[in-house]
Structure 1
Amino acid sequence: MNRLKRKQAWIKALASILAVLALATPFRSEVSAAAQLPFDDISDSYAKDAIVRLYQANLIDGTGAGRFEPRKAVTRAELATMLDRLFGLESVAAAVPAFTDVPEKAWSYGWVSTAVQMGIVTGISASTFGPDRQVSRQDAAAMLARAAKQALSASSEATGYKDADQIASYALAAVAQMKELGIMKGDGTTFRPAAPVTRQEAAVMMDNVLQREAWTSQIRAATEMKIQIGWQYGQTTAQFEKQVLSSNVNTLSPRWFFLESSGMTLSGYDASLLTWAHQHGKPVWAMVGNHSDREMTHGMLSDSAKRTAAVAYLANEVKNNGLDGLNVDFENVDPQDRSGFTQFIADLASGLDSVHAVLSVNLSPDTYSDWTDAYDYAALGKSADYIVMMGYDQHWNGGSAGSVSSLPWLESGLNTLITRVPASKVILALPLYTRDWTVGSAGTTAQDWSLVYQNETLKAHSPLMVWNADLGQYTASYSDQGNTHELWVEDGRSLAAKASLGERLGLAGYAYWYMGGESTDVWGSLRNAMKFSSYRFK
């Protein structure tokens, strides 16, 4: 065969090969495209693209064996989980269950706990959630509106849907708002409020949220961790360090300085803790206490020479030991020492400024009583870098039974304080303890409990837990050895409510009395509260 014929034969063979490949290409492309889908049953779903995007973002999962089941109805537990993930919240296995029908062993326990704590979902009764119930479209709209932190009003109740009269009154404004935002739409002119939400509908709704760049930028942003003070009390250095590492704490406050009859002293100082803290990038604000001794405190505050000596001693110790600041905790101060305490803090602030250290002062909420009359809040706030409001001991042993820190009481104290001290200089101290109140023939007494012991007792006695929305905490009662016990429970949910209040007010940070008293789940609850409170969705 000559060269020309060989070339022609080669061209003909190549053409045949290309023709075969051309016929095969559509099939191969179709197979390739199908192979790229995360689920094998979504190729004909109108939500396919949304499902893929959400799956790639680790926001949704399938139902098993490569299936998504796009037309399957969504349950309340599933939608709570989807919304938690969508809005960047973490699953928190709450130490205190919110509902009897979502036990700790349930797959959705942590996600439902988070959604409840953030106010995204509510129960179908005081004690039940209905995790396996299908979610209606109107309920989904209400949950979405809460998750998106939408301020709903009567003016947003005009939906434009022909079946608007079938929408429940509690969901009407939410349905209208979701339509206006383009997050949740009806079928042309109807909304079908009672129809169950399918998995593909849920995917589209979630994807519509993701398309709002101003929202997603907030969701994806790292949460700013403000000042988080952890007080050391009753722990060894090793125990304290371990607890700090498992917490949100970024500022350590060991109890190292005490006022004694002989003057200010350094007691229990551990240089290894200071070294460890600085290696982990955590400043140390050592506490300065007065043993709540009114007479001894008066002896120092009423004597200018003793005040000056105390200030000089503290400033020198801070400088020599490389401390980052001090945390003054003078309690049970006599009202006659109001001016002396004010001057002591002013002088100490000046002394610490010279060594570039921070001064924070612990104060109780102003009760206009003998306990707080010694504190000139406005003057102290001008001198100190921070005022730490001790948001606890609303009720104490010896007084009437009640909460350690109810939300209305806390809010009242903060609102009063920030009229005198800028919110940007206020740190809110939260309780990692509670009190068990025993009501018996001998009267009413209280015993301080760590949250760990509280939770163990709740599990042992299984009392009826009732969430009191007004107080922002659970209440419970149980009987033991013929006595009635009453508890105002502190847990992740109550602490998250308190932190959310602090975030709304724009506080400088938080403190925790005391490290070791907490159950570890509270830290996740607090992180969620701080992140969720930062969102400003419009």
Structure 2
Amino acid sequence: MTFYKVITLFIISTIIIGSNITNVVKAETLNNKYPFDDIANSYAKKEIVNLAKLNLINGRGNRKFEPLQPVTRAEFITMIDRMLQLEPVNNEIASFIDVRKSKWYYGWVQAGFNLGIIDGTSPGVFQPNELISRQEAAALIARAVKIVEVDKAGTPTFTDSDEIASWATSYVMMIQKNKLMTGNGNKFRPNADITRQETAVVLNRIVESAFGVKVMDGQQDTTIQMGWQYDSTTAEFIDHVNHSNINTLTPRWFFLKDKGRISDQVDPELISYAKKYNKKIWAMFGNLFDADLTHTVLTNSVMRNSVVQQITTYVQKYNLDGINVDFENVKPVDKIYFTAFIIELAEALHEVNAVLSVDVSPDLGTDWTEAFDYVKLGKAADYIVLMGYDEHWNGSPKAGSVSSLPWLERALNKLLIAVPADKIIAALPLYTRDWYDSSLAVLSEELTLEQQSARILTSNIKLSWNDTLGQYLATYTKQGTQHRIWLEESRSFTLKDQMINSKNIAGNAYWYTGAETSDIWVALRNSDKFSSY
């Protein structure tokens, strides 16, 4: 081979290699410009890029977004949940027979369902892998962004409005009015599948709206989340708190004794923990349901004053943030004395910059609550804690829910007549009851929510949802006896919390910390976040 041929071949090779390098660089530049390789020609590429940066959407593997592909029901609610900054909730009680806990979308479906953003296609059926239509998507979006339906009159102005299902008409109207889904060529195509790029456009419009800005900001008011300690060591209680939403600790440290003495069961370890992790301590002061002792102390002004001084001294000694008074089974004749005691204790605690909260039962017009002057207690104390449970109690002549939604709301509404909303804390039960009939009476066994879940797994349970009560009813038969449990779980708790949040009260309390399943806290965080939007 001559010298000139060698030179020629070298030049040609250099050109080819250089061209290949250029192509690689161009490809890398393209890849760096977009998070997915198949969106360059999509009309929604800007929106897709923006949502990907916000981690609100994912591709389908191998850097593919597949913009023209339709979206499944599970995929759509997942994207909605992410946009709302919600967490997946692994409900202990599965709401749908076709959404299994082992599936990637289980928690996302449950999160949306708990909040009423999405529903099943029929009772107990979700069809997660079915494609979602544009009118179904409109309904989900309207619920997710809380578009208020002011007027049902009229119809959307699309040329194919007659194809929109009657149940979807108002949703499509709201979506059109707010310019979130505008249609194409004046057609809405309600029964067409919504594509991934169409979904990206709609979600990005929401993100860039005033509503979306607040959601992305992620700020919400911090409410009181109070948790009682019961049946646990300090180490166990701390562990429970670490896995919860609790920010106000209520250990049961002080109890009324004879001659007005007070027992002191303070654990410095919990105080150190609370100070380190910025938790408040409102130590509980109880009367152990002793009506006679309570009467003796409250009616004796010297003893009563001694109790006030002892509690105030303990608050100063241990540098506590507050006291939670839990006097139950107080005689009706002691109403004026209990009120006087609370007024005196509030004045003393306020002088040392401590908070006073008082536990009360719902005003049901019985002797059990006759000792509570709700108006005067509400004026004296910083907070009134409504014990929103024992609608049906141990020994109740009738089986039923521990705390049904309408019962709790009635109790809260009645308290709101006497006490300002910003002074009320609603206490929720982390327990339920397993009811069964004996030959003599209706009997029940108290269950923590963990025990409830275990029982459901080990028994041949039948579940039915009661819309009125806002709860599942679980039934099963054991040794020929029928058992019934009105369940407390993530879905029922979300409904209660949404109702509570609508009243703008000071916060929630929980009896008792450690009796719950972990999904409860995630569901409540989602509820509080969604309520804050």
User: Does TM, scored on the shorter chain, surpass 0.5?
Assistant: yes
Residue range with higher mean Cα deviation, 220-229 or 475-484:
220-229
- 1:455 aligned to 453, 456, 462, which one? 453
After TM superposition, give the deviation of residue 443 of structure 1 in Å. 3.3
* Match of residue 8 from structure 2: none
Question: Aligned AA for 1:432?
Answer: L
In 2, Cα distance between equivalents of 1:376 and 1:443: 34
In 2, Cα distance between equivalents of 1:109 and 1:27: 41
Residue range with higher mean Cα deviation, 472-481 or 418-427:
472-481
After TM superposition, give the deviation of residue 26 of structure 1 in Å. 11
Alignment of 1:458-537 (within 5 A): 458-535=456-533
Question: Aligned AA for 1:512?
Answer: Y
* Match of residue 330 from structure 2: 333
Question: Aligned AA for 2:403?
Answer: S
Secondary structure, aligned partner of 2:444: strand
Please list the CA deviations of residues 284-306 of structure 1 after superposition, one character each: whole Å capped at 9, or x if unmatched: 11101111111111111122121
Secondary structure, aligned partner of 1:437: strand
In 1, Cα distance between equivalents of 2:47 and 2:98: 32
1:63 matched to 2:60? The reply is yes
Question: Aligned AA for 2:329?
Answer: N
In 1, Cα distance between equivalents of 2:36 and 2:460: 43
Secondary structure, aligned partner of 2:482: strand
- 1:418 aligned to 409, 412, 416, which one? 416
In 2, Cα distance between equivalents of 1:264 and 1:359: 20
1:34 and 1:43 in contact (8 A); partners too = no
In 2, Cα distance between equivalents of 1:274 and 1:196: 57
In 1, Cα distance between equivalents of 2:524 and 2:96: 20
* Match of residue 70 from structure 2: 73
Alignment of 1:151-166 (within 5 A): 151-155=148-152, 157-166=154-163
In 1, Cα distance between equivalents of 2:153 and 2:49: 33
2:163 and 2:190 in contact (8 A); partners too = yes
After TM superposition, give the deviation of residue 462 of structure 1 in Å. 4.6
Secondary structure, aligned partner of 1:230: strand
Secondary structure, aligned partner of 1:367: coil
- 1:251 aligned to 230, 248, 256, which one? 248
In 1, Cα distance between equivalents of 2:194 and 2:227: 45
Return 5+ residue gaps in structure 1 as ranges.
Answer: 1-20
* Match of residue 286 from structure 1: 283
Residue range with higher mean Cα deviation, 455-464 or 435-444:
435-444
Please list the CA deviations of residues 150-181 of structure 1 after superposition, one character each: whole Å capped at 9, or x if unmatched: 22144464311111111111111111111111
1:440 and 1:484 in contact (8 A); partners too = no
* Residues 154 and 419 of structure 1, relative CA distance in 2, 3 Å threshold: same
1:368 matched to 2:365? The reply is yes
1:305 matched to 2:302? The reply is yes
* Residues 28 and 156 of structure 1, relative CA distance in 2, 3 Å threshold: farther
After TM superposition, give the deviation of residue 28 of structure 1 in Å. 5.9
Give the length in aligned residue pairs.
517
* Match of residue 393 from structure 1: 390
Residue range with higher mean Cα deviation, 440-449 or 161-170:
440-449
**TM-score of the aligned structures, taking structure 1 as reference length:** 0.93
1:93 matched to 2:90? The reply is yes
In 2, Cα distance between equivalents of 1:127 and 1:249: 33
* Residues 323 and 34 of structure 1, relative CA distance in 2, 3 Å threshold: closer
**TM-score of the aligned structures, taking structure 2 as reference length:** 0.93
- 1:238 aligned to 218, 222, 235, which one? 235
Alignment of 1:14-33 (within 5 A): 32-33=29-30
Secondary structure, aligned partner of 2:367: coil
Alignment of 1:67-216 (within 5 A): 67-155=64-152, 157-216=154-213
After TM superposition, give the deviation of residue 476 of structure 1 in Å. 1.1
Question: Aligned AA for 1:337?
Answer: D
After TM superposition, give the deviation of residue 471 of structure 1 in Å. 1.0
Runs of 4+ that moved beyond 3 A: 24-31, 153-157, 440-443
Question: Aligned AA for 1:426?
Answer: I
In 2, Cα distance between equivalents of 1:414 and 1:206: 37
* Match of residue 42 from structure 2: 45
Secondary structure, aligned partner of 1:262: helix
Return 5+ residue gaps in structure 2 as ranges.
Answer: 1-17
Question: Aligned AA for 1:174?
Answer: Y
Residue range with higher mean Cα deviation, 144-153 or 510-519:
144-153
After TM superposition, give the deviation of residue 465 of structure 1 in Å. 1.9
Secondary structure, aligned partner of 1:135: coil
Secondary structure, aligned partner of 2:121: coil
